[in-house]
Amino acid sequence: MSEPAVADAGTRPGFAARSTVAREHRGIRRVCVLALLLCLCSSIVSGAESVRVLALFPGKAMLEVDGKRKVLSAAGDAFRGVKLISADTREAVVEFDGRRETLRLGSSVRSEYKKSTRREIRIVKDRRGGYFVNGLINGQPVNFLVDTGATSIAMSENQAAKLGLQHRVDGRRVGVGTASGNVVAHEIELRSISVAGVRMNDVRAVVIDGSSPRFVLLGMNVLSKFDIDQRENLLVLRTKY
């Protein structure tokens, strides 16, 4: 009796084709894994996109890196790819994206060390002790008095009339607190304002009955858009972005 024919692995029907497909699948998996690793490495190498100084102390600094805050308490400390080299109450030296940069309070840098285009407004205290800055309300020129105690832009009804504002028609009657006590006012929305060339749209303001305040007050609803730095008789407003 003849022995049954047995095909070895090399001649078994379909075996070579299946082996080829399996090798191709393994190759594809290797390529996918390699691509994933390259993407991860790329994200690590790119590091932080933006760095900002929030507070300064002798020997340490509070940084905001891509929106995350961290106090680096000693030279050599690092956070999200940003390394602190030195710091004092005036400035911090950081290493970022392979380079070093000196940053003052409130200043910031972005990836590849391109400095952000922040506007800076310098206001010198006048003889009356106030900080006045030229601007516009709905395209009309005004002279703002910077007032960090005011929650919003505030003006008298006399000033509103000069600017052509219909506060009694367009506004909402409210009560506001002043140094002289509670007074009647109307809350309105200004179409646009400009402070030394920095424009903002749809800004809240209050128009107070009577002739007070004497000047148009630039309140915190606008000032909060700036980093504020006061040095003796100089007030510096820096846009945050």
Mean pLDDT over 23-30 rounds to 58
Radius of gyration of the chain (CA): 32
Mean model confidence pLDDT for the chain: 80
| Residues contacting residue 92 through CB under 8 Å, at least 6 positions apart | 53, 56, 61, 63, 84, 86, 102, 103
On the question of pLDDT at 89 being above 60, the answer is yes
Helix, strand, or coil (residue 110): strand
Which of 5-14, 47-56, 103-112, 114-123 has the lowest average pLDDT?
A: 5-14
For residue 3, the 8-state DSSP code is P
CA distances from 81 to 85, 97, 107, 110 (A): 13, 8, 18, 13
What are the φ/ψ torsions at residue 232 (nearest 5 degrees)?
55, -110
What are the φ/ψ torsions at residue 15 (nearest 5 degrees)?
-65, -45
Strand partners, 170: none
State the pLDDT confidence band at 42, using cuts at 50, 70 and 90. Answer: very low
State the pLDDT confidence band at 6, using cuts at 50, 70 and 90. Answer: very low
What is the distance between the alpha carbons of residues 149 and 217, in angstroms, rounded to a whole number? 10
CA distances from 83 to 19, 181, 222 (A): 52, 51, 33
Closest to 135 in 3D by CA, of 215, 198, 41, 181: 198
Helix, strand, or coil (residue 199): strand
Identity at 46, one-letter amino acid code? S
> So what's the pLDDT on residue 8?
46
Positive or negative torsion for Cα 109, 113, 117, 122: positive
What is the distance between the alpha carbons of residues 217 and 131, in angstroms, rounded to a whole number? 10
Positive or negative torsion for Cα 156, 161, 163, 164: positive
Would you kindly state where each structural domain of the chain is located, as residue ranges?
A: 50-113, 120-239
Q: Of the CATH numbers 3.40.1390.40, 3.40.50.2300, 2.40.100.10, 2.40.70.10, which one belongs to the domain with range 120-239?
A: 2.40.70.10
On the question of pLDDT at 50 being above 50, the answer is yes
On the question of pLDDT at 40 being above 50, the answer is no
State the pLDDT confidence band at 15, using cuts at 50, 70 and 90. Answer: very low
| Tens of pLDDT, residues 108-131 | 776 554 455 678 899 999 998 999
Mean pLDDT over 45-50 rounds to 56
CATH code for the part of the protein at 50-113? 2.30.30.830
Tokens representing residue 224 in the block: 């909060």
Is 0.85 topped by the overall pTM? no
| Tens of pLDDT, residues 131-168 | 999 999 999 999 999 999 999 999 999 999 999 999 99
Tokens representing residue 159 in the block: 């000033």
| Tens of pLDDT, residues 165-221 | 999 988 899 988 777 778 899 999 999 999 998 999 999 999 999 898 999 999 999
> So what's the pLDDT on residue 175?
85
Identity at 140, one-letter amino acid code? Q
What DSSP string describes 24-43? HHHHHHHHHHHHHHHHHHHH
Distance of CA 104 to the CA centre of its chain: 16
